Amino acid sequence: MATVKLNVKWGKESFSDIEVDLSQTPLVFKAQLFALTGVPVERQKVLLKGAQLKDDEWGKAVPKDGMTVMLMGSAEAVSVEAPKNAPKFVEDLPEEEQEHMDTKRFGAGLHNLGNTCYMNSTMQCMFAVQPLREALYKRGAAAGGDPTGRLVSATAELFRDLESGGAPFTPYAFLMALRAKFPQFAQKGQNDEYAQQDAEECWTNVMYALKEKVKDDDGNAAVDKLFGIRTHLALKSDESPEEEFAEDGLSYTLKVNIEDKTAHVSEGVAVGLREERERTSAALGRTALFKGATRLTALPPYLTLQMMRFFFRRDNQQKAKILKKIPFSVEFDAYEFCSEELKKELDGPRLAYKEAQDAEMEAKKLAKKGAGPQAEPAAAAPAAASGADVDMKEAAAGASTSAPATTKAMTGKYELVGVVTHKGRTADSGHYVAWVKQPSEGTWVCFDDEKLTIRSQEEVLQLSGGGDWHMAYLLLYRAIYADVPVKAEEAKAEPEEAGAKEAAVMEA
């Protein structure tokens, strides 16, 4: 069936040229109407050709291009917030909320709406990125009323609800907005049930929606700043060595290809960055094979690795899964995959990071010997910290003393803060779960739809595969920074300017 454009009449409002995919069920169209008007699907009465539209089939009401559809129903009412500072007592809370007081500080669970674990786990993991939340809260309300804007607003609202913590809730508004923007997430299987979807596809599609609507003060996309990996691809042909093909790019994930000899995540990344392409050679006057590799030219504050575990099997027409064990670490080093120019930028901070670690180890040794805190080295090395560990007040105080001015710089090293796992044999079935490190406590929490469970780091590292248990599919890492001396020309800058630069680095 073809795609048609319909006009929608809802009370005094009209919407023109709404694209409707007739190969999808009417429920997908109703999700689009929800994204446009805010009228929940269960309240909608859609009249087409004098008949009320069903959810599961078009029947005799298949619309033609240019037709007008009548929508009846009231939009979701805006709730009035209770005073934020009103005192609350545990005994006054509903029993359902009392049950989740122990995990309230970690967030909230999400009810499964029918094979929506891919969505729940993706958003629980993405929620771990505090700067993304802040950007959404700042810009999400002004995202607009188009499907993309509705999805962005729904994401901001979902994050606010998760931040409130407590009892699990149903992410219905977000799901409807996601399906309205990306109809593939409304596909159904043979039993007329919603099909299982790919968590990475959900992650990437949400990223692109946020890229379009959530900008910083300079007009740049927040997700590019937080997750964007700048790359440079260089290819050469053995048949024509003087020719070179080059291409710059931006991506949100590093692929971890899995081969028979792949024994660690880093090896899989190296394989994923190698590339071969057939291109027309001007010198040879014909097609030739060009080989080369991609190098990273700029690193983001948050780095996402995708384990390429799924592949398409032609015999049964399904996406099968590679179960091979691929170990990963709590620390990932991207240095070897960087361009030579970027490596030079990282060398100084990496040295500072190593000196800080060595000084810390030496201090611990002295403490064990009973030397006490006064035995610390006379000249302490610059401290290392993750992106979430920066204390701007401390940095400002340091600038007013005689100590050398420092700034935060990337080391190329990252710490693990989130994992999305998949359990099952195929991509079209199984179960997705999110594992998120809590920055305030350093503990890990497993988000299994509506259920939250505290886990250990050792349990997280066992998610490397090799069987039918949950295995890592997406790995989310956060950059580790080091204190480095400010360059002479930067040190001469006005205090406000220097503070602005520091804030910009840490905001990332």
Residues with catalytic function: 117, 431
Token pair, residue 104, equals 């309230």
Q: Are 269 and 336 in contact (CB under 8 A)?
A: no
Q: Which amino acid is at 376?
A: E
**Spatial distance between the Cα atoms of 438 and 207, rounded to a whole number of angstroms:** 22
Q: Are 5 and 15 in contact (CB under 8 A)?
A: no
Q: Are 172 and 157 in contact (CB under 8 A)?
A: no
Residues of 277-291 as b/e, b for ≥16 C-beta within 10 angstroms?
Answer: eeeebeeeeeebebe
How far the first Cα of the chain sits from its last, in Å, is 46
Instruction: Find tokens 């790359």 and name the residue.
Output: 231
Put the strands of the sheet holding 240-251 in their side by side order: 240-251, 229-237, 286-298, 274-281
Nearest to 232 by CA among 342, 308, 332, 306: 342
Contact partners, residue 318, CB within 8 Å, separation at least 6: 312, 426, 427, 428
Instruction: Find tokens 């989130």 and name the residue.
Output: 418
